[in-house]
Amino acid sequence: MTDAHALAARDGIPDDIAYLRSAYPKGDWAKHVNFGELCNFWLHVHQSLRAEGAAVESIIADFREDRLDARTFPQRFVPALNQFLGHLDGHHRIEDAVYFPKFRALDPRMQRGFDLLESDHHAIHAALETTVGSARGLLASLNQPQRDARAADEHAAHAATLTALLLRHLADEEDLVIPAMLEHGERRVG
């Protein structure tokens, strides 16, 4: 993978990697005869991850803008963050262990794309660990008599980085996965 293909640096994946994208435009996916339960489920999981990430960022924004107090914040933040991170980690584990190997077996041209997506998972995991560390720092700061707003700002910055990486990855993954299922059929990977 080149630096231009690194998750933090790219603005989409090139056509030579997402070689099926032009044959299966996103707006036509649901109309395709091979669009079934697995395609729909995949897109639903991605939409859920987007929504859960946005919900966590909204809670952080509410706290930073004093719409949530220091007592209420952890009650909303901790369960939402744990749910989001748990779903994200579980989704990536299933992809790496089960689905990505099946996609690679369908067509050797897919190798580069799925190598790229696995590399994304490592970058997202690193950002996730940084975000968890800053969340712990933020929560610890709530117990201090003179709470430092920098902990909330630092966490918000780390969470925004994680979200940006995740959104780019999800869009790129959809550009590879859904056209592949439309081309080869869901049964080949399900």
pLDDT digits (tens, 9 = 90+) for 67-82: 999 999 999 999 999 9
Query: In sequence order, what are the residues at sequence separation of 6 or more whose Cβ sits closer than 8 angstroms to the Cβ of residue 26?
Result: 174, 175, 178
The average confidence (pLDDT) of the chain is 93
Beta-carbon contacts of residue 119 (< 8 Å; ≥ 6 apart): 1, 6, 7
Residue 91 is predicted with a pLDDT of: 93
Alpha carbon distance 65, 159 (integer Å): 16
Q: Is the model more confident about 90 or about 143?
A: 90
Confidence of residue 149 (pLDDT cuts 50, 70, 90): confident
Mark 51-76 as b/e (b = at least 16 C-beta within 10 Å). Answer: ebbeebbebbebbeeeebeeeebbeb
Quick one: pLDDT at residue 180?
Answer: 95
Which position has the token pair 């080149």? 2
**What are the structural domains, with CATH classification, of the chain?**
23-188 (1.20.120)
Question: Is the pLDDT at 142 greater than 80, yes or no?
Answer: yes
144 — pLDDT class (breaks 50, 70, 90): confident
Q: What was the pLDDT predicted at 153? A: 92
Distance CA 21, CA 78 (A): 38
Give the least confident one: 33-37, 52-56, 143-147: 143-147
- Which of 169, 187, 189 minimizes the C-alpha distance to 46? 169
| Predicted local distance difference test score (pLDDT) of residue 1 | 53
* Phi, psi at 9, each rounded to 5°: -100, -20
pLDDT at position 188? 83
